[in-house]
Amino acid sequence: MNTKLIKTALRNISRNKRRSILSGSAIAVAAMSIVALFSLIEGMTDDMAFNLKTYYTGEVRVKHADYDTYERYNPMHLTVDWNSVDKALAKEDMVKSYVPRISFPSNLYIGGSNFGAMGVGADFEKEAGYQDLAGSLKAGRIPENGKNEMMMGAILARDLKLEIGDRVTVMSTTAARGTNAITLEIVGLFAFPVGALNSKYFWVPLDRAQYFLRMDGGVQEVLIKVNDEVTSIAAAPLLKAAVENSAGVEMDIRPWQELSTTYGMLKMAQMIYNFIAMFFFLLGSTVIINTTMMVIFERMREIGTLGALGMHGKELIRLFFLEGTFISMIGSAVGVAIGIGLTLWLSKTGIDYTDAMSGMDFEMSAIVFPKLSVGKTVFVYFYSVIIASAATFIPSRHAAKIEPVEALRYV
Amino acid sequence: MKNKIVMIMILLSLLIPVSVIALTGEEIIRKADDMQVFETSEATGEMRIKDRFGVKVSTFISWSRGSDESLIEFTSKAERGQKVLRTEDELYLFYPDAEELIRMQGSMLRQSMLGSDVSYEDMTGGKDRISQYDVVLEGEESVKGNDCYVLMMTAKVRTVPYPKEKVWIDKETFLVWKAEYYTKSGRLLKEMEALEVQEFEDRLIAVETRISDKMKTDTETIMVISDLRINVPIDDDKFSLEELSW
């Protein structure tokens, strides 16, 4: 490819600036949209994974060996011995933090009526090292161990017209497979990122939950976060061996990826996101192809002139290919740059889905922060350039084949 | 004249069994209800609740006065101090760690008592069944060697726990040996069967009863009364809300 052809291509681009800018803008808008969309999806996926690991499963989860089998029967008696699990995990270097939890479906008895809610028994001191509990506290304080206190989801409290200082009687099924009730004072209101947690949940000190639910030192599950040097899949079997050795009983210890309900949900969400991304991606590609082809088809008269002046078919194809490549390189670069800028801005401000997510039981935060993926951004740049450049071949090949006289008939 | 007297005596002797057979369904139910109601009673017993996870035993003391008032206090470790009070119109639960009494109403009544096959709603039944049900005497059957009337009761009102009940009542003692509880469309919901009976003051009382909720799989509850004392003195306020909280 000689430099003369490159110079001609650049001259053609600069000669009709308006056309070149329009063509480049279309490519830029498509590239920007795809970068922003990929970043949003990356942010949503990361957010859901974080929420699942923080609030639902941990990176590795410890449960009674039979719990999942009988889960639909609410088997509160299928617990793990917290002391032995605690002892075993405390010795493991690969463990970053871990928390015991007891989730119990319950009824809140208010004004003679029952309202369904989900209770969580938690060791708040340990929770502080596991999640940003203080940051999630909207009002009041965190309940204290040994006291009949609770903190309630801000939306649940609002729906039930409760506030800090109110006392609520909670009824639930116990580990003795009976029922029990206890009155707890609301000392705090929380707002976790996940809407469902705020509209259905209340948290109580672990020791009060154990007493109320007759658990005798047992907990329903232990959620573990592992150090960055080790993956949850690699850590799970090692932790299983250590914990089972300490407790002397078989337990269900699995990485979060193997917990079908949660990871399956994430995979499903990813599939949906990718489908949406693919749709927009194809839409973006269509815009790029359409713009490039239109630019060449409207220059048939010019092509005829060039042919009449002696430019061969292959040279014509190369010329238009170079023009398309230069425009797409500039357009893609601008688009990707704007996409990066937009993503970086939104990654700080976040996108608020509070209204859209209200009433939805989905493990995605109400405010999502897009996350830039370097690999995907580079891919979008090269993809846009290649698509736009390749799109020049179809009309330019067609143009190269027609006779100059025929090409001159195009207006 | 002599022949006339013999004739009348023969007719009278024939009339006696005819009058027994001629008991109506309502009369049988009334007699069965009367057999189970005491002026006052005090009992200790246990519930053996069997489900897919094994057998759980809850012990209790109960008091009753007439057909409308009863109080159960659980004494087993897991439920110690929990009480269920039934008054004429209401059912209340007392939990030692709860600051308020829980009044059971509406759908709450359908909840299982301590995970057993007995619902709180089951405890509200039994009051004036004659006015609540249409009773049809379907025939006679033998249950465990005891001749029984078989009666089908169809609810006239919507406030009863079960729209249809089929009961087997002993022809001599009027003890309910067996009962089946159905939905309006005829789906079996629950079964009750007397396993062991004892005589108290000329009445036969079921001291061991099996109840099975057919909506659950592989569950049953055996109610055992180990000690029953009839017509014992009970404080007037035993069945009051104030007493319940103590």
Q: Which residues contact B135 (CB under 8 A, 6 or more apart)?
A: B24, B25, B26, B28, B29, B151, B152, B153
Rounded CA-CA distance B230/B200 in Å is 8
pLDDT at residue A260 is higher than 70: no
Rounded CA-CA distance A335/A342 in Å is 10
* Residue whose entry in the numeric block shows the structure tokens 């004392």: B229
Task: Locate A167 and state its tokens.
Answer: 């006392």
Residue B36's CB is within 10 A of a number of other CB atoms, namely: 17
pLDDT digit string (tens) for A200-251?
999 999 999 999 999 988 999 999 999 988 999 999 999 999 999 988 999 9
Who among A148, A183, A214 is closest to B100 (CB)? A183
Contact between chains at B114 and A178 (C-beta distance less than 8 A)? yes
**Structural domains of chain B in order of their starting residue, each with its CATH number:** 25-241 (2.50.20.10)
Least confident residue range of A32-46, A287-301, A331-345: A287-301
Rama region for B208: left / alpha / beta (φ>0; ψ in -120 to 50; rest): beta
Task: Locate B37 and state its tokens.
Answer: 């109601």
Q: Which residue of A has its CA nearest to B117?
A: A178
pTM of the model: 0.78
Rounded CA-CA distance A385/A288 in Å is 9
CB-based contact (8 Å) between A73 and chain B? yes
pLDDT at residue A317 is higher than 60: yes
What pLDDT band is residue A408 in, cutting at 50, 70 and 90? low
Residues 148-187 (A) with a CB less than 8 A from some CB of B? 148, 167, 169, 171, 173-174, 176-183
Supply the DSSP symbol for B13. Answer: H
**Count of residues making up chain B:** 246
Kindly state the average pLDDT of the residues A261-280. 73
More confident residue, A354 or A246: A246
More confident residue, A320 or A117: A117
Contact between chains at B78 and A181 (C-beta distance less than 8 A)? no
Alpha carbon of B100: minimum distance to chain A alpha carbons (Å): 7
pLDDT digit string (tens) for B31-65?
888 888 888 999 999 999 999 889 999 999 999 99
Among A219, A278, A207, A273, residue whose Cα is nearest residue A243: A219
Contact between chains at B93 and A181 (C-beta distance less than 8 A)? yes
More confident residue, B120 or B17: B120
Contact between chains at B53 and A70 (C-beta distance less than 8 A)? yes
pLDDT at residue A140 is higher than 60: yes
**What pLDDT is stored for residue B127 in this prediction?**
56
Rama region for B145: left / alpha / beta (φ>0; ψ in -120 to 50; rest): left
Contact between chains at A182 and B115 (C-beta distance less than 8 A)? no
pLDDT at residue A116 is higher than 80: yes
B50 bridge partner residues: B55, B220
Contact B47, B223 (CB under 8 A): yes
pLDDT at residue A311 is higher than 80: no
pLDDT at residue B18 is higher than 50: no
Please list every residue in chain A whose beta carbon sits closer than 8 Å to the beta carbon of residue B90. Answer: none
List, in sequence order, every beta strand (DSSP E) within B1-101.
40-51, 54-65, 69-74, 83-86, 91-94
Q: Which residue of A has its CA nearest to B83?
A: A180
Please list every residue in chain A whose beta carbon sits closer than 8 Å to the beta carbon of residue B51. Answer: 177
SS3 B63: strand
Please list every residue in chain A whose beta carbon sits closer than 8 Å to the beta carbon of residue B79. Answer: 176, 178, 180
Q: Does the CA dihedral A356-A359-A365-A366 come out positive or negative?
A: positive
pLDDT digit string (tens) for B151-204?
999 998 887 889 999 999 999 999 999 999 999 999 999 999 999 999 888 889
Rounded CA-CA distance B91/B102 in Å is 8
What pLDDT band is residue A270 in, cutting at 50, 70 and 90? confident
Q: Is A337 buried (19+), middle (13-18) or exposed (0-12) by CB count in 10 A?
A: middle
Rounded CA-CA distance A209/A104 in Å is 9
Rounded CA-CA distance A162/A389 in Å is 63
Q: Which residue of A has its CA nearest to B98?
A: A182
Mutation target among B57, B83, B114 for the A interface, most CBs of A within 10 A: B114
Residue-averaged pLDDT of chain A: 87
pLDDT at residue A194 is higher than 60: yes
Contact between chains at A176 and B56 (C-beta distance less than 8 A)? yes
Rounded CA-CA distance A12/A323 in Å is 8
pLDDT at residue A382 is higher than 60: yes
Contact between chains at B99 and A114 (C-beta distance less than 8 A)? no
Please list every residue in chain A whose beta carbon sits closer than 8 Å to the beta carbon of residue B56. Answer: 176-178
Kindly state the average pLDDT of the residues A377-384. 89
Checking ipTM against 0.85, whether it exceeds it is no
Kindly state the average pLDDT of the residues A392-408. 74
Contact B49, B55 (CB under 8 A): yes
Among B88, B52, B4, residue whose Cα is nearest residue A78: B52
Q: Do the bridges between strand A201-205 and strand A113-122 make them parallel or antiparallel, or are there none, so unpaired?
A: parallel
Q: Do the bridges between strand A221-226 and strand B133-143 make them parallel or antiparallel, or are there none, so unpaired?
A: unpaired
More confident residue, B149 or A268: B149
SS3 per-residue string spanning chain A: CCHHHHHHHHHHHHHCHHHHHHHHHHHHHHHHHHHHHHHHHHHHHHHHHHHHHHHHHCCEEEEECCCCCCHHHCCCCCCEEHHHHHHHHHCCCCEEEEEEEEEEEEEEEECCEEEEEEEEEECHHHHHCCCCHHHHEEEECCCCCCCCEEEEEHHHHHHCCCCCCCEEEEEEECCCCCEEEEEEEEEEEECCCEHHHHHHEEEEEHHHHHHHCCCCCEECEEEEEECCCCCHHHHHHHHHHHHHHHHCCCEEEEEHHHCHHHHHHHHHHHHHHHHHHHHHHHHHHHHHHHHHHHHHHCCHHHHHHHHHCCCCHHHHHHHHHHHHHHHHHHHHHHHHHHHHHHHHHHHHHCEECHHHHCCCCCCCECEECCCCCHHHHHHHHHHHHHHHHHHCHHHHHHHHHCCHHHHHCCC
What pLDDT band is residue A320 in, cutting at 50, 70 and 90? confident
CB-based contact (8 Å) between B246 and chain A? no
Who among B79, B99, B103 is closest to A167 (CB)? B99
**What pLDDT is stored for residue B7 in this prediction?**
53
Contact A164, A187 (CB under 8 A): yes
Least confident residue range of A99-113, B5-19, B102-116: B5-19
Kindly state the average pLDDT of the residues A13-33. 84
Alpha carbon of A258: minimum distance to chain B alpha carbons (Å): 26
pLDDT at residue B11 is higher than 60: no
Kindly state the average pLDDT of the residues A272-298. 74
Contact B227, B44 (CB under 8 A): yes
Rounded CA-CA distance A221/A64 in Å is 8
* Residue whose entry in the numeric block shows the structure tokens 């009940």: B165
Q: Rg for chain A (alpha carbons), in Å?
A: 31
Contact between chains at B100 and A169 (C-beta distance less than 8 A)? yes
Q: Count interface pairs A-B at CB distance under 8 A.
A: 61
Q: Do the bridges between strand A80-81 and strand B69-74 make them parallel or antiparallel, or are there none, so unpaired?
A: unpaired
Q: How many CA atoms lie within 13 A of A407 on its CB side?
A: 26
CB-based contact (8 Å) between A147 and chain B? no
**What pLDDT is stored for residue A76 in this prediction?**
92
Task: Locate B176 and state its tokens.
Answer: 């309910």
Please list every residue in chain B whose beta carbon sits closer than 8 Å to the beta carbon of residue A171. Answer: 95, 102
**What pLDDT is stored for residue B13 in this prediction?**
47
**What pLDDT is stored for residue B2 in this prediction?**
52
SS3 per-residue string spanning B103-143: EECHHHHHCECCCCCCEHHHHHCCCCHHHHEEEEEEEEEEE
Kindly state the average pLDDT of the residues A167-193. 94
